[in-house]
Structure formats: C-alpha cells, structure tokens
Amino acid sequence: MPGSVRTVTGTERVPEAGQPLPSARPAWLLTLVLASLAMLGPFTIDTIFPAYPEVGREYAVDTTAMQQVTSVYLLSFGVMSIFHGPLSDSLGRKPVMIGGLMGYVLASLLCLLAPTFEVLLAGRVAQGLFAGAATIVSRAVIRDLYSGAQAQRMMARVLMVFAVAPAVAPVVGGEILRFGPWQAIFVFVAGYAVLVAVLTALVLPETLPRSARQPLHLGSVVGGLWEVARSWRFERLALSTTFAFASYFIYVAGAPIIVVDLLGRGERDFWLLFVPMIAGMVAGSWLSTRLAGRVDPRRLVDGAMVGLLASAAVNVVLTATVPVLPWAVVGPTLLGVGIGIVFPLLQLAMLDLFPERRGAAASMASFASLLFNAALAGALVPLVDGSLLQVALASAALAVLGGALWLWHRRAK
C-alpha cells in the first residue's frame, strides 16, 4: 500500500487524514522544548537526592522514610496520569501542559515552605499530580506531528536529551547545596517549570485541532480510558515496557542507597552512577534514530530485548565477582542502551493503537509503569538494598518479565 507505515504492532497504518502538518519551527527547537517538558519528571526525582541526608537530619527521619519522598511523588504522578491524556484529547495539548506546569510551581512552593516532613510529603504528592501534564502529553504531541520513521526519530531524539536529566539533576542539586539550604532545590525546579511553560506557549503549536477533540464529560473520559485499557494488545505492550524500563529504573530509584551506602561514596558523587547509565541510554537512542526506516521496528525490539537480557546477566556476574567501581556500573550502562532502543518504539506502538485517543493511550501507557515504579521505589528497593548483587538480581528478574511479555505480544494473534 503506497504511503503506508509498518508499525511495531505489526499492522499496516496509513497516516490519518486531517492530521496537523509538522510545525514550521526548526526540528531542533521542537526537540528541545519537548525534551524539556519530559525532563521535568527526572528533575523532580533526582535533584533532591544529594539533599536526602540533610533533609533526614532536619526532620529526624531515617533512610527508609526518605525513600517515600520519591515513592509518594511517583504514586501521585501515576494516579493522575490517567487523566492528563484524556483531558488533552478534549481541551487540546497546550492548555493541559501549561496548566499542569503552573500547578507544579505552586506544589514546589509548598515543598519549599514545608514545616514538617508530612507537609513535605504532601508537597511531593502535589508535584506528582501536576508534573505528568508536561511529560505525558508531550508524547502525544510527538505522534500528532509525526508518523512512521520520522516519529521514531523524534521520539528517540527527545529521549536522548531527556536522558541527560537524571545525570545532570543530582549534580545540580549538589551544587545548589554548596551555596544554600536544601529548600533552594525547590526554588530551582519551580523556576525550571516557569521557563518550560513560557517555551511551550511560545514555541509549540497546538497539535490537536478542535475538530479532532473528544467531548469533555465524564463518560467520554472514562469511555476512552476503558477502550484503551481493555485492549490485550495494549496491555501486553504496556506491561512489557513497564518491566523492561523498571530493570533500569531500579538503579535510579535506589541511587541514594546504591551510591552512598553500597558504593561508599559521598553526597556529590551521584554522577559516578548516572553519567555512565545515561551515556548508555543516549547511545541506544542514537542507534534508534539511525535505524529508523531501515530496520523493521519489531525486529529492532526483538534484538534490543535480547540485548537487555544479556546486559542483565552481565550485571549479575559482575556484581557477584567485582562489586566495586567501575565494574558496578557496567551492567546498568548496558541496560541503558537496550532501554534507549526499546522505549521510543514501544511508546509509539501504544499510541498507534488508538489514533483518535492518543492522549488516553499516553496516559494509560504511563499509568502501569508509574505505579509500579512507585512501588519499586518505596517497597522493592528497601527489600534489595543489602548488596549490589541483590539489586542486580532484582533488575534481571524485571528484564526477564519485560522480555517474556514482548515475546507473548509477538506470538499473539
């Protein structure tokens, strides 16, 4: 079929009539703004990491309690992620993203002024409720603007820039602590959100025309979510993405314990873990851009999943034999390469299943992953924080689950 596009789901799809044309803005500028929207999540999680000891001392709470600073954010992010996408299907992409960013600024100010640990956690919950508007809806914007190999390249380029955030954020947090108290970190993330909101308003086009919007009422929102959620094809892809990404994310969520307790490094040494990991993800994303349109997306995911499992095995062997730097970060770096290839493809695959409800698909694609990552940060990481080998074994088990679900998807009719 002329002009058709082979998707990772294995179906032939023709770009929909009436789609908005790509913006006249330079591709690099669109990439920068879309990546900046996506980076809000990692900045919110990782910038505070170097301040964990100081925050714990101020509020007199232990390491396990401090893990909740991450897990409650992820939990609220995950719960609210259900609604951001459907709202953008009804109201348009830009109003939801900009409104979410403004709400995030207010939530950050609550964290800044928190008199007790409980109020700090409430502020983190509020940050999670609003942050998803930027990160989730921006994925739908990419698919609104581009299709096929072009969409794969843009998603991978955004991931390349986005991937830098977990490496940069702890360094930024550490530098902020050199000149001010830990509360200044929330001044920084609030200012970042304001800047991104301005860029979104000035640079991004509205990619969902009024004629393509869904009615804004509860039945439409719930109906769209149910249409997505009841699809077995979608569920297999979503869970495969969730577990595969979790094999990598366990090192991000557990970074304060891994870097300080297990590797015996200082509060400003998070770069020793994050820089190699992010380099791996950037390398994988770069490979995805180079192979877009040249290799069948399904075969590319096949190869990346095999690589992910091999990386997890290497990680277990290295942590069992030489659990010290630099060997301790080789496995997570290799995992990053696999994730950099797989993540853009599976995200696009899920969006392509529901071209008229991309916002709802983006929300549901994030929902399972975010809730699981919240449980991972708050429950699983404390269970496996006794040694690097325990973390590596947990990572390997998650990679196996992700690979098995992808295999099931490939073989299903």
* The pLDDT value given to residue 328: 92
Task: Return the sign of the alpha-carbon dihedral for residues 225, 229, 231, 237.
Answer: positive
Residue 386, token pair as written in the block: 């006794």
Q: How far apart are the first and last CA of the chain?
A: 22
Using DSSP's 3-state secondary structure scheme, residue 136 falls into helix
- Residue 6 in any domain: the answer is no
Q: Per DSSP, which regions of 122-195 are E strands?
A: none
* The pLDDT value given to residue 3: 40
In angstroms, the CA 43 to CA 38 distance is 10
* The pLDDT value given to residue 302: 92
Q: Per DSSP, which regions of 306-376 are E strands?
A: none
- Residue 53 in any domain: the answer is yes
Residue 234: other Cβ atoms inside 10 A: 21
- Residue 249 in any domain: the answer is yes
- Residue 18 in any domain: the answer is no
Distance of CA 411 to the CA centre of its chain: 27
Nearest to 357 by CA among 176, 144, 194, 142: 144
Residue 399, token pair as written in the block: 């990679």
Residue 399: other Cβ atoms inside 10 A: 27
State how many domains the chain has.
1
Residue 247, token pair as written in the block: 């094999």
* The pLDDT value given to residue 46: 82
Tell me the CB-side half-sphere exposure of residue 237, using CA atoms within 13 A. 30
What residues make up the domain containing 80? 25-411
* The pLDDT value given to residue 24: 57
Distance of CA 119 to the CA centre of its chain: 26
Nearest to 38 by CA among 281, 394, 353, 297: 281
- Residue 7 in any domain: the answer is no
- Residue 3 in any domain: the answer is no
- Residue 220 in any domain: the answer is yes
Taking the whole predicted model, whether its pTM rises above 0.75 is answered as: no
Domain CATH for 45: 1.20.1250.20
- Residue 17 in any domain: the answer is no
DSSP annotation of 208 reads S
Tell me the CB-side half-sphere exposure of residue 128, using CA atoms within 13 A. 28
pLDDT along the chain (413 residues), means of 10: 45 42 67 87 85 90 83 84 82 91 96 94 94 83 80 80 75 88 94 94 86 74 78 88 91 85 82 87 87 85 93 95 92 93 85 78 77 78 87 95 92 73
